Amino acid sequence: MGEASDAVQKMFISYNNIHKSCQKIAIQIMAKGERPDVIIAITGGGMIPARIIRSFLKSRGQKNIPIQAIGLSLYEDLGLDDHVDTIGKEVIRTQWLDFGSLEQHFDSLIGKRVLIVDEVDDTRTTLHYAVTELEKEVKEQQIKLNRTNEETVFSIFVLHNKDKPKKAALPAEMMNNDRYLAAETVPDVWLCYPWEALDIEEHTELAIKQGNN
């Protein structure tokens, strides 16, 4: 990729920083009285923030919020550079909701508050796909079960939103009602998440130096 990518600034983020980001957003959600009924983690990136935020969305005596995982990946062109993922156009679905198991213990997503979680909103392609497909499936189920009068509310939580032109949009209704929750909005830098660190002590020190602890 040459000089352009060499010059990309690296932002180091510690685990404790991520923990605090999840806590911050959870406090906002609870203050609005919008505790989700189910969390949908986009694997792999969404798994860590999803598990952390769940802790803070639990009130004393309440049950854990169920987590469902969906596997979404963008086709990557790995030929150009080992470090820079070239964003593809198509989303690959490697796992979807298990409505069978979900309904048995949980009913369905119809009429529920659903929090979709991922690590980063880069081009917005994956999040767009997730919301669009989930909304479509819920509507189909509503018609099938004759429950079209119930409102399902989707929110999104990401650790980082990159301030850059997006390739896809999210529903205006979601954006206008503060249901798109990014813990931090950052420039289009290279985000170094702790779970990729070969030396976590050094990584944490760099994050602290950058104020990301």
**Measured from the CB atom, is 73 or 174 closer to a copy of itself?**
73
**Measured from the CB atom, is 5 or 94 closer to a copy of itself?**
94
- d(CA 177, CA 174) in angstroms, rounded, equals 5
Binding positions for a copy of itself, rule: CB under 8 A: 14-16, 19-20, 23, 41, 43-45, 47-48, 50-52, 54-55, 60-61, 63-64, 66-69, 71, 73, 78, 82, 92-98, 100-102, 104-106, 194-197, 200-201, 204
Structure-token pair, residue 156: 């999104």
Structure-token pair, residue 65: 């919020």
Supply the minimum distance, in Å, between the C-beta of residue 95 and a copy of itself.
4
**Measured from the CB atom, is 68 or 125 closer to a copy of itself?**
68
- d(CA 128, CA 95) in angstroms, rounded, equals 17
- d(CA 67, CA 97) in angstroms, rounded, equals 10
Is 122 an annotated catalytic residue? yes
- d(CA 207, CA 68) in angstroms, rounded, equals 31
Supply the minimum distance, in Å, between the C-beta of residue 193 and a copy of itself.
9
Supply the minimum distance, in Å, between the C-beta of residue 176 and a copy of itself.
31
Question: Which of 81, 82, 122, 199 does the annotation list as catalytic?
Answer: 122
- d(CA 109, CA 178) in angstroms, rounded, equals 20
Maximum alpha-carbon separation in the chain: 58
Tell me the catalytic residues.
122
